[in-house]
Amino acid sequence: MPHSASRPLTLHPDRLLPADPATRALARELYASVAGLPIVSPHGHTDPSWFAGNASFGNATELLLVPDHYVFRMLYSQGVPMEALGVGGAKVDPREAWRLFAERYHLFRGTPSRMWLDWVFAEAFGIDVRLDGGTSDHYFDTITDALTTDAFRPRALFERFNIEVIATTESPLDSLEHHAVIGASGWQGKVVTAYRPDPVVDPDFEGFRDNLRTFSDLTGEDCLSWTGYLNAHRQRRAFFASMGATSTDHGHPTALTADLGTVEAEALFRKVLAGTFTAEDAELFRAQMLTEMAAMSIDDGLVMQIHPGAFRNHNARVFETFGRDKGADIPSRTEYVRALKPLLDRFGNDPRLSVILFTLDESTYARELAPLAGHYPCLKLGPAWWFHDSPEGMRRFRRATTETAGFYNTVGFNDDTRAFLSIPARHDVARRIDCGFLAELVMEHRIEDWEAAELAQELSYNLVKQAYKL
């Protein structure tokens, strides 16, 4: 039973809406008109095996703590060893790992994770007391018991959350066997993939040359030759498209692009293969591959997503011990105007190309990204993303970009998450913030109320479907 001193857990119906009473009343009306719209999740990292096997998620720790680097990075920053939480496959008592989290839940006050998790606890599991050390066992048992029921299997939650379509993200080396199982199962949920070629376009990616050999085996192409390498990409992209992919995804350190001639590109490729390349060579190769991917997108219609600016695996010890994606990716300064020019000189005016730009560097919103997207037909702005997918981050994004790029050069919202149960919570936050922003524009007589109502629908649902061809 809950601890007697525990405080109640409630979600205020007007949370995140503007404080001014008149503006809040209008925002409330706008939000009510879009709150029940289906969720379109065009970019994320949920595991397709969940939907293929439809197995139980296990226990509270396995579902909500171990996979979510938003959560365990905060705990780690306060001195909790990742091993003690079960990260990286460490053998721990999941109840005790959960207790470490519960006793420190106060650390998340004011963070997006707190909002998302409280939504999951209250709305998904019906818990009505706050998480703390005294309620740790109550939470663990309530959540873990629920996960044994059919109502909490992945497909049932997919339907309960009103998800229309969700995109996962896979490497070109992935067999997509789970997507094949989903497609053959007769289940009506739509789960598509996205082509994420980092392991075979980034010379600094661990095992890069071995990855190219695997790439050759998968495609029957000689991926140690420039022509065969490019043909292998075309072949795998076509395969991904046949499995539902409508987009590619490129997580490069910078936004640099290049447009080398064939002879120069082949020479650079040989240098990369030989292992004699410098950091500048690796960056130039990644830059060239963004332009090559754009050329392929013109041919096959896949939408490009470019999200640069993360210093990946900044904590060397954590990377060596636990591997990638363990909360140590740190935003860095990113330049777009000059970096994208080679790609845009070649393809920027071609209506067949669609490129969605993301950033971790908010200083670029008004100075670079909004003017670029407000001019080039091929460019759209991705939403406030990662570290900025928060109430204040979303508000800053709208205020900095709307006057130059407008709303229709943006693409709605994506949740970019591994934490499946947080998806509806994240979309709910985005809808509330956008409705608040639109209400402010109406109250300032910058748009009409009927325009705000149309825009609320566009930002919550229509634009993302158009941009990602879903």
Query: Residue 421: which of 65, 86, 142 has the closest Cα?
Result: 65
Q: What is the CA radius of gyration of the chain?
A: 23
Contacts of 422 (CB under 8 A, 6+ apart): 68, 116, 117, 119, 120, 415
Using one digit for the tens of pLDDT, what is the confidence trace for 288-301? 999 999 999 999 99
Strand-pairing partners, residue 380, are 356
Query: Residue 363: which of 327, 325, 337, 328 has the closest Cα?
Result: 337
Whether the predicted pLDDT of 428 surpasses 70: yes
pLDDT (0 to 100) of residue 2:
45
Whether the predicted pLDDT of 1 surpasses 50: no
Whether the predicted pLDDT of 4 surpasses 60: no
Query: Residue 168: which of 57, 48, 53, 250 has the closest Cα?
Result: 48
Whether the predicted pLDDT of 142 surpasses 60: yes
pLDDT category at 75 given cuts 50, 70, 90 is very high
pLDDT (0 to 100) of residue 317:
86
Using one digit for the tens of pLDDT, what is the confidence trace for 197-246? 999 999 999 899 999 999 999 999 999 999 999 999 999 999 999 999 99
The mean pLDDT of the chain is 96
Using one digit for the tens of pLDDT, what is the confidence trace for 355-405? 999 999 999 999 999 999 999 999 999 999 999 999 999 999 999 999 999
Whether the predicted pLDDT of 281 surpasses 60: yes
Domains of the chain: 21-56+151-467 (3.20.20.140), 57-150 (1.10.2020.10)
pLDDT category at 42 given cuts 50, 70, 90 is very high
Count of other CB atoms within 10 angstroms of residue 275? 9
Using one digit for the tens of pLDDT, what is the confidence trace for 104-118? 999 999 999 999 999
